[in-house]
Amino acid sequence: MQPPPTNSPTTGNNPDLAISVRSVTKRYGSLTALDSFDLEIKKGEIFALLGPNGAGKTTLIRILTTLMSPTSGEAFVYGMNSAQHGREIRSLIGVVPQENSLDRYLTARENLELHARLHSMEKKTYKRRIDELLELFGLAGRQHDFPDTFSGGMQRRLVVARALLHEPKVLFLDEPTTGLDPQSRRAVWDYIRTIAGKMTIFLTTHYLEEAEHLCERVAIMDHGRLIAMGSSAELKAKLTGGATYEIEFAEGSEHYAKILENMSCVGKFTITGRVVDVSLERWECLAEVITALNGAELRRISLRENTLEEVFISLTGEGVRE
Ligand SMILES: Nc1ncnc2c1ncn2[C@@H]1O[C@H](COP(=O)(O)OP(=O)(O)O)[C@@H](O)[C@H]1O
Ligand SMILES: [Mg+2]
């Protein structure tokens, strides 16, 4: 059955947007991998999509990178419908797929050259650019070796270099650092930071610290739906009730614990010996708490910020997926 016509325009015509996803649903047989998904990403933004295995992240990337069409709804890259303008979109984007897709019978350099030719780059231009990228990613010394002889980190760096070769306007990174050692992961992060602002970056990751450090905006999805979106600070504040303070008393912790426990702006609350942990719903509560503690013999008040990891688990549960 055809969905009813809507009033939304059929082209993504907001020039500020790099990506616009409108009510996209994708079904694989009876499984709904994406469920009326909406998303807008501005040009130049670094955006992270988080979600447990099977959440639908790769499916969304496949649709945006024109590898598959949605079952219903529309996705736009630079205002072009992904189901209709495959060729134009592919010239604008760089893709680092979840699984490395290097040609194992070509050397590192030949892999890059093939990509350049597929993008109709001029030999003079791509030769110089390949030299630069090999240097930048620490692969110059191994450029004539086959990817199978590379470590996981080197292969991943080569795939990122390849995705950047034709100077894309939008870079898609599907779990760029999964399985990398901390050094290689950092090398990829550092590079993403250096190109920040020059292009739009859409990345998926399991590493919450990665999203937290690299991205202005983070979305969390599960079961094909968006659960939450905002800056990592906003998500933390909104979804796990702000910050937790550890208050250590020299004495009288029981007495003050009772007072704190009954305050309306105190959320979660635990007492362990002389230390009372209180989570506050809003930062304005802090002044109220300080007033209530007037006269107490305090040893220490320290702030323990909720991590994005806590947000993630609180939203998606602790069960192990796929
Ligand atoms: N080609 C496919 N055929 C059938 N089911 C698929 C296919 N690709 C993905 N799925 C299923 O769709 C859901 C979303 O998968 P995916 O988009 O790969 O999630 P993620 O990248 O977040 O791990 C999962 O349940 C997965 O098993
Ligand atoms: Mg995936």
Tell me, yes or no, whether 163 and 274 share the same domain: no
CA of 28 to the centre of ligand 1 (A): 8
Most confident of 25-34, 187-196, 208-217, 281-290: 25-34
Tell me, yes or no, whether 177 and 68 share the same domain: yes
Residue 8 pLDDT more than 50?
no
- pTM to 2 decimals? 0.81
Tell me, yes or no, whether 248 and 232 share the same domain: no
Tell me, yes or no, whether 38 and 152 share the same domain: yes
CA of 2 to the centre of ligand 2 (A): 29
Q: What integer pLDDT is reported at residue 7 of this predicted model?
A: 41
Amino acid identity of 162?
R
* Closest C-alpha to 304, from 260, 242, 259, 258: 242
Tell me, yes or no, whether 248 and 220 share the same domain: no
Tell me, yes or no, whether 89 and 222 share the same domain: yes
Residue 321 Cβ contacting ligand 1 at under 6 Å: no
Tell me, yes or no, whether 256 and 215 share the same domain: no
Taking the CA of 56 as reference, the closest ligand is 1
- Parallel/antiparallel/unpaired status of strands 244-251 and 31-42: unpaired
Residue 165 Cβ contacting ligand 1 at under 6 Å: no
Counting from 1 in the atom list of ligand 1, the atom nearest the Cα of 29 is 4
Q: What is the pLDDT of residues 263-283, one digit of tens each?
A: 888 888 889 999 999 888 777
Residue 316 Cβ contacting ligand 1 at under 6 Å: no
149 in any annotated domain: yes
Residue 62 pLDDT more than 90?
yes
Tell me, yes or no, whether 138 and 276 share the same domain: no
Counting from 1 in the atom list of ligand 1, the atom nearest the Cα of 59 is 17
Taking the CA of 55 as reference, the closest ligand is 1
Across the chain, the runs of DSSP E, i.e. the strands, are 17-28, 31-42, 46-50, 72-77, 80-81, 93-96, 170-174, 200-205, 217-222, 225-230, 244-251, 266-272, 275-280, 297-304
Q: What is the pLDDT of residues 213-250, one digit of tens each?
A: 889 899 999 999 998 899 888 887 776 556 788 999 99
Residue with the smallest CA separation from ligand 1 atom 2 is 28
Q: What integer pLDDT is reported at residue 242 of this predicted model?
A: 65
Q: What integer pLDDT is reported at residue 12 of this predicted model?
A: 60
Name the band, by pLDDT with cuts 50, 70 and 90, for residue 36. very high
Name the band, by pLDDT with cuts 50, 70 and 90, for residue 209. confident
Lowest-confidence segment of 133-142, 172-181, 184-193 by average pLDDT: 184-193
CATH number of the structural domain spanning residue 210: 3.40.50.300
Residue 233 Cβ contacting ligand 1 at under 6 Å: no
State how far the Cα of 304 lies from the Cα of 279, in Å rounded to an integer.
9
Residue 113 pLDDT more than 90?
yes
CA of 174 to the centre of ligand 1 (A): 13
Tell me, yes or no, whether 91 and 124 share the same domain: yes
Residue with the smallest CA separation from ligand 1 atom 1 is 28
Residue 4 pLDDT more than 50?
no
* Closest C-alpha to 303, from 232, 257, 236, 246: 246
Q: Are 299 and 249 in contact (CB under 8 A)?
A: yes
Residue 291 pLDDT more than 60?
yes
Type and span of the H or E element at 134: helix 123-136
Name the band, by pLDDT with cuts 50, 70 and 90, for residue 192. confident
Domain final residue, candidates 237, 255, 287? 237
Phi-psi domain of 282 (left: phi exceeds 0; alpha: psi -120 through 50; beta: other): beta
Q: Are 176 and 203 in contact (CB under 8 A)?
A: yes
Residue 3 pLDDT more than 60?
no
Tell me, yes or no, whether 178 and 267 share the same domain: no
Q: What integer pLDDT is reported at residue 11 of this predicted model?
A: 52
State how far the Cα of 235 lies from the Cα of 45, in Å rounded to an integer.
18
**Domain containing 278: what range?**
243-299
Tell me, yes or no, whether 123 and 143 share the same domain: yes
CA of 97 to the centre of ligand 2 (A): 9
Residue 224 Cβ contacting ligand 1 at under 6 Å: no
Counting from 1 in the atom list of ligand 1, the atom nearest the Cα of 34 is 14
Q: What is the pLDDT of residues 70-81, one digit of tens each?
A: 999 999 999 999
Residue 54 Cβ contacting ligand 1 at under 6 Å: yes
* Closest C-alpha to 206, from 100, 48, 62: 48
- What pairs with residue 204 in β-bridges? 49, 174
Q: What integer pLDDT is reported at residue 110 of this predicted model?
A: 98
**Chain position carrying tokens 């086959």:** 146
CA of 194 to the centre of ligand 2 (A): 25
Residue 87 pLDDT more than 60?
yes
Token pair of 50, please?
């988080």
Domain final residue, candidates 222, 237, 252? 237
Residue 92 pLDDT more than 50?
yes
Number of domains in the chain: 2
Q: What integer pLDDT is reported at residue 210 of this predicted model?
A: 83
309 in any annotated domain: no
317 in any annotated domain: no
Token pair of 126, please?
């791509």
Residue 51 Cβ contacting ligand 1 at under 6 Å: yes
Q: What integer pLDDT is reported at residue 233 of this predicted model?
A: 81
5 in any annotated domain: no
CA of 239 to the centre of ligand 1 (A): 27
**199 DSSP assignment:** B
Domain final residue, candidates 185, 203, 237? 237
Residue 53 Cβ contacting ligand 1 at under 6 Å: yes
How far is residue 168 CA from its own chain's centroid? Answer: 19
Residue 33 Cβ contacting ligand 1 at under 6 Å: yes
270 in any annotated domain: yes
Q: What integer pLDDT is reported at residue 239 of this predicted model?
A: 66
9 in any annotated domain: no
Tell me, yes or no, whether 271 and 133 share the same domain: no
Q: What is the pLDDT of residues 165-185, one digit of tens each?
A: 999 999 999 998 887 888 888
